[in-house]
Amino acid sequence: MGSYQESSSCCFQDCRHYSGEGSMASKKRVIRPTPWIFFLLLFLITIPEYVIGLVPPCSILMVINPFIAASLLTCRENGSDGIMLFLRRSFDFRRIRRRIWYLPIIFLMPMAILVSFGWMIATGASSENLQVPAMIAVLFLVFFIAAIGEELGWSGYALEPLQDRWGALPAAIIIGMVWALWHLVPYALANPMAWVAGQCLATVMIRVLMVWIFNNTGKSVFGMILFHAMVNLCTVPDYGLPYDPVILGMILTVIAAAVVYLWGPGTLARYRGA
């Protein structure tokens, strides 16, 4: 599997291109991303949707807001050239040099949701209505496009400066908590408090797993978009059993704890067995 050191080298090369280092034509100084301003701007942009009281599925309109906030700040900090490089990260799949990492990107969330369904069935839920939605391919496409809007903000803009300052696990928890708080209004408007608490826990644990994958895939935003799409594909459609974030949150907490132990909290990329 990939290494944090390899990805750091890759990102340094990108930063050189971003700032125009080595080019006589470009003398602009790169201004580093400001994640805390990004968080503030994101909530300000989302206030109208909070006031309207958007709930799922209408709350999907929120997904463009992280992209808007990050784009505005990137343009202010690095101009149009910075925006173009920022947008290209949506499909930076070439960073994923170790193809084995597509396994957790694609299959980790389906396996977790299957375990949660097994838990529910073992404790008395009926499996008679289990189904695969007929439009699942269309749903995946919708979720992938929606994930672009979110992950360009969370992973493409905010994550790396937070990691540089605090390390991988604290950065993951910070973004996970902000991510959960950002969704809190639509969560609370449509669901009981136990569901909301479980969903917030699951959201933070998902972000820990995402940062783990991010740091082992050359810091690929495309990998985060694909993983995010799989999260929504596993939790939003009707599979014949009710989605229970309390159960899923506990399962993801166990997985995240194992990841932190095995790969280390500092980078989430230094495997103990290597």
Can you tell me the distance from the alpha carbon of 263 to that of 215, in angstroms, rounded to the nearest whole number? Answer: 10
Q: Spell out the residues 6+ positions from residue 30 whose beta carbon is closer than 8 angstroms to its own.
A: 15, 18, 19, 77, 78, 82
> What is the pLDDT tens value at each position of the chain, 274 positions in all?
444 444 444 443 444 443 444 443 444 555 778 999 999 999 999 999 898 877 766 667 899 999 999 999 999 999 988 999 999 999 999 999 999 999 999 999 999 999 999 999 999 999 999 999 989 999 999 999 999 999 999 999 999 999 999 999 999 999 999 999 999 999 999 899 999 999 999 999 999 999 999 999 999 999 999 999 999 999 999 999 999 999 999 999 999 999 999 999 999 999 998 7
pTM of the model as a whole: 0.88
Q: Spell out the residues 6+ positions from residue 115 whose beta carbon is closer than 8 angstroms to its own.
A: 251
Can you tell me the distance from the alpha carbon of 226 to that of 91, in angstroms, rounded to the nearest whole number? Answer: 10
